[in-house]
Structure 1
Amino acid sequence: MVTSSAYGPRVGFFITCVADLFRPTVGFAAISLLQKAGCQVEVPPDQTCCGQPAFNSGAKAMAQTQARRVIETFESYEYLVAPSGSCMGMVKEHYPQLLANDPAYAERAKALAAKSHELLSFLTDVLDWDDIDARFDEVVTYHDTCSGLRELGIKDQPRRLLAKVRGLELRELTSAEECCGFGGTFCVKYPEISDRMVSEKIKDAQKTGATTLLGGDTSCLLNIAGKAERMKAPLKVRHVVEILAGMADGSAMGEGEEGTKG
Structure 2
Amino acid sequence: MEVALFITCVNDTLFPQTGRATVELLERLGCEVRFPLEQTCCGQIHGNSGYGHQALPLVRRFVKAFGEYEHVVCPSGSCAAMVHEQYERLARESGDMGLLREVEALVPRVHELSLFITDVLGVEDVGAYYPHRVTYHPTCHALRIEQVGDAPLRLLRAVRGIDLVELPQATTCCGFGGTFAVKNAETSAAMLSDKLAAVQQTGAEVCTALDNSCLMHIGGGLSRLQAGARPVHLVEILSATEDRA
Q: Residue by residue, what CA displacement relative to the aligned partner does 1:17-39 show, whole Å, maximum 9, x if unpaired?
A: 11111110100111111112221
Q: Cα gap change, 1:213/1:24 in structure 2, threshold over 3 Å: closer, same or farther?
A: same
Q: What does residue 33 of structure 1 align with?
A: 25
C-alpha RMSD of the superposition: 1.6
**Structure 1 stretches of at least 4 aligned residues deviating more than 2 Å after TM superposition:** 247-250
Task: State the alpha-carbon separation in 2 of the partners of residues 111 and 249 from structure 1.
Answer: 41
Q: Residue by residue, what CA displacement relative to the aligned partner does 1:167-217 show, whole Å, maximum 9, x if unpaired?
A: 101111112111111101100110001011111111101111211101000
Question: 1:93·1:113 contact (CA, 8 Å) conserved in 2?
Answer: no
Q: Give the superposition deviation at 1:131.
A: 3.5
TM-score, normalised by the number of residues in structure 1: 0.89
Percent identity (aligned): 45
Classify the secondary structure of the residue corresponding to 1:63.
Answer: helix
What amino acid is the match of 2:124? D
Q: What does residue 161 of structure 2 align with?
A: 167
Of 212, 215, 221 in structure 1, the residue corresponding to residue 215 of structure 2 is 221
Q: Single out whichever of 22-31 and 227-236 deviates more from structure 2.
A: 227-236
Classify the secondary structure of the residue corresponding to 1:135.
Answer: coil
Task: State the alpha-carbon separation in 1 of the partners of residues 38 and 110 from structure 2.
Answer: 18
Classify the secondary structure of the residue corresponding to 1:214.
Answer: strand
Q: What does residue 76 of structure 1 align with?
A: 68
Q: Mind listing any 5+ residue stretches in structure 1 that lack a counterpart?
A: 1-7, 251-262
Q: Cα gap change, 1:202/1:116 in structure 2, threshold over 3 Å: closer, same or farther?
A: same
Task: State the alpha-carbon separation in 1 of the partners of residues 141 and 242 from structure 2.
Answer: 25
Question: 1:29·1:247 contact (CA, 8 Å) conserved in 2?
Answer: no
Count of matched residue pairs? 242
Q: Cα gap change, 1:146/1:249 in structure 2, threshold over 3 Å: closer, same or farther?
A: farther
Task: State the alpha-carbon separation in 2 of the partners of residues 136 and 33 from structure 1.
Answer: 14
What amino acid is the match of 2:55? A
Q: Cα gap change, 1:222/1:212 in structure 2, threshold over 3 Å: closer, same or farther?
A: same
Q: Which structure shows the higher helix fraction?
A: 2
Q: Residue by residue, what CA displacement relative to the aligned partner does 1:57-104 show, whole Å, maximum 9, x if unpaired?
A: 122222111111101100100111110010000111210111013212
Task: State the alpha-carbon separation in 2 of the partners of residues 64 and 231 from structure 1.
Answer: 41
Q: Mind listing any 5+ residue stretches in structure 2 that lack a counterpart?
A: none
- Answer yes or no: is 1:199 the counterpart of 2:193: yes
